[in-house]
């Protein structure tokens, strides 16, 4: 791991919030922030208990804070009963019934708004429809939908009745969908006849049919939203149109008051094996941190129009589309489509047209938009923006500065938020009215989040700028609870490294002399492609599932826009293509991976070799493959290679 841990980035500029921003912020001074840190330090459990009482409405109040009796399984507020959907919708009705909850813009340009009252009614009707189909507390429901309000309605309806949703990103293939349905043992899939993306229709229903045709025996019904009006096959008895499910259903549905620890959802994410992990989140703890981070990090208030561009298929789309903004009674914007339809000005046009005040996106999107030049953003009025955010990967200072100047007009603080599917919500991030930011740093851990950097023995690294393991030393409310169906994997992956003492994030990081965190990258075999997490093993498994592939090794290489690109080394069954080139096969393999996993997993480069470089013990020399993928000179010892001649093949020289 030393190659990851050597730190090269040096960035010294500092950007304190403007007096104007600080004056209007919820937390408007470093002193106010320090007071929060102190509270969390002095009485950690009490700090979170007080917030849980103040910030959420309980059906049965809790009396217990953190329960560590079954470590490393931690539980919060266990004897309370609560409902997430009630906290996101019903509790605002008296004061905000007519306030807009969701502004939706479809890729074709259609616009729809829903008030809190309308959202309430639609969630209740859908929840009643689910109940009519026999869905009850604890059942798993897979949601495979476009970015329309119905995706949020479906999630909220599940939460309302205590069903556990598992949203599968619409860009994942039928094969990935099937794996997730089967792992979760889902009873129902909620999908659509398609979604609009990039001027095309995403064939969600066709993929669902394909997945169900190959297994998924636990599925009883498929609910189908009409979004695109193009023809899809309907299986009699199994498939139900969304409109038919809700027809005649009452617009009231008593929430299911679940225990705090009742699983709110599963979300599959990549790890270092070929099989994605079903990350299981709780109800109360999860919601609490979504709310706190909306307030602390996004400084959300009633006048804001909040736009997080993430799809609901990712954790960001759970915490900052489907739950956090509603739980704080805010107005959220949802956009269905691609950033370049009809052109690369679309995001900026949406910001202008809907007067977006807080804009949250991924560095990869910022880099892609930056590449298109300043004319697109400059053509729109971006003066409504007051706060910008990033998530998913480290942001390079150049992209940060462009975001700051060209989008934020040097007025808007930028919150670079570090967190993971597993953490549930932001863990390390600036407080925009109090923290001076530095381009490329996610700054300091939030109050009540005990993040630190430790060495391989688990000792805190006190020397500034020394890289180490990013860990969280105390359980926090929104942490994952387990890996669905594989609790051993939960214990081994997240707690095994340091003897159950710390949560291990899987990232390396360093702290500078000011205590600011700089994330350096993953220390496991996880890639970050356009802000999406992908396991190298997943891509390898997909490749070797092709009849012509005997062996494959996948590594990441730096990419200007995507952050990381996927570089695959492939050993074929039978002879290697002459000169290492077979364009038809390369195309076939790329499409194959897209079909096995999804288009985001398509290898950017494929190189054919007679065999892979391995150590004497048979381990693939990944570090060597990474060096080659970067096009760098090989300096490591390669004398142990069985066949040194393959080096030329791997380098594309033979």
**Residue numbers at the binding site for ligand 7RM (CB under 6 A):** 269, 315-316, 391-394, 416-421, 442, 505-507, 519, 522, 528, 533
CB of 316 to ligand 7RM, least distance (A): 5
Cβ density class 113-143: b for 16+ within 10 Å, e for less: ebbbbbbbbbbbbbbbbbbebebeeebbbbb
The β-bridge relationship of strands 563-572 and 549-559 is antiparallel
CB of 25 to ligand 7RM, least distance (A): 21
Our CB check for ligand 7RM shows the closer of 4 and 50 to be 4
Q: How many helices (H) and strands (E) does the chain have?
A: 23, 30
CB of 531 to ligand 7RM, least distance (A): 6
Q: Where are the beta strands (DSSP E) in 154-310?
A: 164-167, 188-192, 195-197, 200-202, 221-225, 239-241, 258-259, 265-269, 277-281, 305-308
Our CB check for ligand 7RM shows the closer of 352 and 420 to be 420
Our CB check for ligand 7RM shows the closer of 353 and 559 to be 559
CB of 293 to ligand 7RM, least distance (A): 11
CB of 442 to ligand 7RM, least distance (A): 5
Our CB check for ligand 7RM shows the closer of 249 and 528 to be 528
CB of 578 to ligand 7RM, least distance (A): 40
Q: Which of 394, 393, 439, 397 is nearest to 414 (CA)?
A: 439
CB of 287 to ligand 7RM, least distance (A): 17
Q: What is the DSSP code string of 305-333?
A: EEEE---TTSHHHIIIIIIHHHHTT-EEE
Our CB check for ligand 7RM shows the closer of 290 and 417 to be 417
CA 206 – CA 202 distance, rounded (Å): 9
Whose tokens are 């807009």? That residue is 100
Our CB check for ligand 7RM shows the closer of 118 and 364 to be 364
Q: Which of 36, 41, 37 is nearest to 474 (CA)?
A: 41
Our CB check for ligand 7RM shows the closer of 183 and 311 to be 311
Q: Which of 277, 273, 558 is nearest to 420 (CA)?
A: 277
Residue 193 has which token pair? Answer: 């006849």
Our CB check for ligand 7RM shows the closer of 333 and 442 to be 442
Our CB check for ligand 7RM shows the closer of 317 and 337 to be 317
CB of 211 to ligand 7RM, least distance (A): 22
Can you give 458-496 as a three-state secondary structure string?
A: CCECCCCCCCEEEEECCCCCCCCCEECCCHHHHHHHHHC
Q: Which of 394, 421, 627 is nearest to 509 (CA)?
A: 394
CB of 365 to ligand 7RM, least distance (A): 13
CA 145 – CA 130 distance, rounded (Å): 16
CA 634 – CA 627 distance, rounded (Å): 7
Q: Where are the beta strands (DSSP E) in 51-210?
A: 66-70, 73-76, 81-82, 100-105, 111-115, 140-144, 164-167, 188-192, 195-197, 200-202
Our CB check for ligand 7RM shows the closer of 329 and 394 to be 394
Our CB check for ligand 7RM shows the closer of 402 and 592 to be 402
Our CB check for ligand 7RM shows the closer of 76 and 418 to be 418
Would the CA dihedral through 211, 212, 215, 219 be positive or negative?
positive
CB of 6 to ligand 7RM, least distance (A): 17
CA 123 – CA 160 distance, rounded (Å): 8
CB of 526 to ligand 7RM, least distance (A): 7
Our CB check for ligand 7RM shows the closer of 363 and 433 to be 363
Number of other residues whose CB lies within 10 A of the CB of residue 162: 23
Cβ density class 300-313: b for 16+ within 10 Å, e for less: bbeebbbbbbbbbb
CA 54 – CA 42 distance, rounded (Å): 19
Are 150 and 195 spatial neighbours (Cβ–Cβ below 8 Å)? no
CB of 439 to ligand 7RM, least distance (A): 12
Q: Which of 584, 590, 646 is nearest to 614 (CA)?
A: 646
Are 173 and 139 spatial neighbours (Cβ–Cβ below 8 Å)? no
CA 128 – CA 554 distance, rounded (Å): 46
CA-based radius of gyration for the chain = 24
CB of 460 to ligand 7RM, least distance (A): 20
Our CB check for ligand 7RM shows the closer of 222 and 534 to be 534
CB of 476 to ligand 7RM, least distance (A): 15
């Amino acid at each position: 791991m030393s190659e990851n841990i050597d730190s090269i980035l040096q960035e010294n500029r500092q950007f304190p919030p403007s007096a104007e921003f600080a004056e209007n912020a919820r937390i408007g001074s470093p002193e106010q922030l320090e007071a929060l840190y102190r509270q969390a330090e002095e009485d950690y459990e009490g700090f979170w208990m007080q917030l849980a009482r103040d910030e959420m409405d309980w059906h049965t109040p809790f009396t217990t804070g953190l329960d560590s009796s079954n470590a490393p399984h931690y539980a919060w507020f266990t004897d309370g009963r609560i409902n997430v959907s009630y906290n996101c919708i019903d509790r605002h009705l008296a004061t905000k019934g007519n306030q807009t909850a969701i502004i939706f813009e479809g890729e074709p340009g259609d616009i729809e708004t829903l008030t809190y009252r309308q959202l309430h009614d639609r969630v209740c009707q859908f929840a009643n429809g689910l109940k009519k189909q026999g869905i009850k507390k604890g059942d798993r429901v897979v949601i495979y939908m476009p970015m329309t309000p119905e995706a949020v309605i479906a999630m909220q309806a599940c939460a309302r009745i205590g069903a556990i949703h598992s949203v599968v990103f619409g860009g994942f293939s039928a094969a990935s969908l099937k794996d997730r349905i089967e792992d979760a043992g889902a009873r129902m899939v909620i999908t659509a006849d398609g979604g609009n993306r990039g001027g095309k229709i995403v064939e969600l229903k066709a993929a669902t049919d394909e997945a169900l045709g190959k297994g998924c025996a636990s599925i009883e019904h498929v609910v189908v939203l009409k979004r695109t009006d193009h023809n899809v096959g309907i299986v009699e008895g199994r498939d139900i149109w969304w409109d038919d499910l809700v027809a005649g259903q009452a617009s009231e549905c008593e929430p299911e008051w679940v225990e705090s620890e009742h699983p709110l959802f599963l979300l599959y994410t990549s790890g270092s094996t070929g099989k994605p992990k079903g990350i299981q989140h709780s109800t109360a703890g999860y919601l609490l941190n979504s709310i706190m981070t909306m307030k602390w990090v996004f400084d959300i208030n009633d006048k804001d129009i909040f736009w997080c561009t993430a799809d609901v298929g990712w954790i960001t789309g759970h915490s900052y589309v489907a739950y956090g903004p509603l739980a704080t009674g805010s107005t959220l914007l949802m956009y269905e489509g691609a950033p370049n339809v009809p052109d690369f000005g679309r995001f900026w046009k949406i910001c202008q047209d809907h007067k977006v005040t807080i804009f949250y996106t991924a560095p990869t999107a910022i880099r892609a938009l930056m590449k298109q030049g300043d004319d697109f953003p400059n053509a729109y009025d971006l003066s409504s923006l007051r706060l910008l955010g990033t998530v998913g990967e480290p942001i390079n200072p150049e992209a940060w500065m462009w975001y700051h100047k060209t989008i934020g007009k040097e007025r808007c603080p930028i919150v670079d938020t570090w967190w993971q599917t597993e953490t549930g919500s932001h863990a390390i991030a600036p407080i925009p009215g109090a923290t001076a930011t530095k381009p490329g740093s996610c700054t300091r851990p939030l109050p009540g989040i005990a993040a630190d950097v430790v060495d391989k023995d688990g000792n805190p690294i006190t020397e500034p700028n020394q890289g180490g393991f990013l860990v969280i030393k105390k359980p926090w409310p929104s942490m994952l609870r387990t890996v669905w169906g594989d609790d051993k994997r939960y214990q081994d992956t997240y707690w095994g490294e340091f003897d159950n003492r710390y949560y291990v994030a899987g990232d390396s990081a360093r702290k500078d002399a000011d205590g600011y965190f700089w994330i350096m990258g993953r220390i496991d075999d996880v890639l970050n492609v356009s802000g999406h997490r992908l396991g190298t093993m997943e891509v390898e498994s997909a490749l070797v599932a092709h009849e012509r592939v005997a062996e494959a090794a996948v590594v990441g290489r730096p990419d200007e826009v995507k952050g990381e690109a996927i570089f695959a080394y492939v050993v074929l069954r039978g002879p290697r293509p002459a000169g290492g080139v077979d364009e038809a096969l390369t195309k076939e393999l790329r499409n194959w991976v897209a079909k096995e996993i999804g288009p985001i997993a398509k290898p950017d480069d494929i190189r054919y070799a007679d065999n892979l470089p391995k150590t004497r013990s048979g381990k693939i020399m990944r570090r060597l493959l990474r060096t080659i993928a970067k096009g760098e000179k090989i300096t490591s010892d390669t004398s142990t290679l069985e066949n040194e001649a393959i080096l030329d093949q791997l380098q594309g020289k033979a």
